[in-house]
Structures are given as structure tokens and as C-alpha cells.
């Protein structure tokens, strides 16, 4: 099965994602996108597959985002794509492409949603957080809403409060 990761080896999230792919039994094609940026056409294909606008894929931390004033609404999608190609560090990472889909893997465990074999068992990320892809469903009632997810995708609840996500990740370990 063909898996591709747009990877930055200096990024802990990218390294964790790559390690999870390998733990699943796959050896991906690794594109160090800072050295070999995608073409304009490929970046547009990735954005379409991610169902994201260019602004949503922009990385802010450790980039010239502020310096270029990219938060200004004046920038069109085409202009943002051109800036991302000129400064590939602005492309958020890691992006993983598999036959099951394309994801921006932030947090890294999002990759489990598109791996052919997501059952990687217990995995300890570089920061010490433990992910268990074999845990049962988990539910919590927070602020009148029922939150639920499996350990394969603790970030699957985008509207959940940040502290609930943190508790969810901790709960999934036990």
C-alpha cells in the first residue's frame, strides 16, 4: 500500500506520525517538503483532498507568518499558495496521504484514521503522551454535551473544550 508523508524531521509531531506509520507495518515515501516543496498543482491537490483553504493550512509558529502579515484578510487563496511555495515552512505538517484519505496529522494520532492497519497498540509519543489504538470507546459529559471518541482518534471532537480533550487522552490510557 502506498503511503506518503510530507515530513519535517525537526518537528516532533511529524516524527511521531512517521513512527506510528512504521509501527503499523508500513514504510512510507518520505517527502522532506522543506527540501523538496510540492509543486503548485500538488499543493492544490492536497488542499482539495484535505478540504482546506490555504489559510487553514498555514503554519504560524516558527515561520515568517507575522512578518509577512499573513493574518491580513487581503490575501487571496492564490496569493497564499504562492507564498507557501516561496516559504514552504508556512505549510503545516505533517500531511499524510494513503489510499484511505489525506490528513493533516495534528495531533499525530490523527494518522490512525487513514492507516490500513491502525492497531499499533500502545504508543508513547516523544512528549511522553501514551496513545492506545486498541482502547474501547470513551464518553464524558461536559458542559451539557456528550463527548465520545476512540483511542484511535482522540482529536475527533473538534468542538470539545481543550481540557476535555486532555482528560479524554488521559482516560484513554487507563
Judge whether 132 counts as a catalytic residue.
no
Active-site residue, from 11, 48, 105, 134: 11
C-alpha span between 43 and 22 (Å, rounded)? 25
Cα–Cα distances (Å) from 26 to 2, 83, 113, 159, 164, in that order, read 8, 33, 14, 32, 32
What is the enclosing helix (H) or strand (E) of 40? helix 40-50
Name residue, grid cell 508556512: 90
C-alpha span between 149 and 168 (Å, rounded)? 8
C-alpha span between 21 and 128 (Å, rounded)? 18
Catalytic residues: 11
Amino acid at each position: 500500500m502506498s503511503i506518503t508523508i510530507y515530513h519535517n524531521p525537526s518537528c516532533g509531531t511529524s516524527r511521531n506520525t512517521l513512527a506510528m506509520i512504521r509501527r503499523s507495518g508500513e514504510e512510507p515515501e518520505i517527502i522532506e517538503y522543506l527540501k523538496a516543496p510540492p509543486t503548485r498543482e500538488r499543493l492544490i491537490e492536497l488542499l482539495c483532498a484535505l478540504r482546506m483553504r490555504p489559510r487553514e493550512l498555514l503554519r504560524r509558529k516558527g515561520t515568517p507568518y507575522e512578518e509577512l502579515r499573513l493574518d491580513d484578510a487581503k490575501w487571496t487563496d492564490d496569493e497564499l499558495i504562492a507564498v507557501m511555495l516561496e516559504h514552504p515552512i508556512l505549510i503545516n505538517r505533517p500531511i499524510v496521504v494513503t489510499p484511505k484519505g489525506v490528513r493533516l496529522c495534528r495531533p499525530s494520532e490523527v494518522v490512525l484514521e487513514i492507516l490500513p492497519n491502525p492497531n499499533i497498540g500502545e504508543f508513547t509519543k516523544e512528549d511522553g503522551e501514551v496513545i492506545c489504538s486498541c482502547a474501547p470507546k470513551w464518553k464524558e459529559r461536559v458542559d451539557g454535551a456528550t463527548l465520545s471518541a476512540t483511542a484511535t482518534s482522540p482529536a475527533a471532537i473538534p468542538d470539545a473544550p481543550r481540557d476535555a480533550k486532555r482528560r479524554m487522552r488521559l482516560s484513554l490510557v487507563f
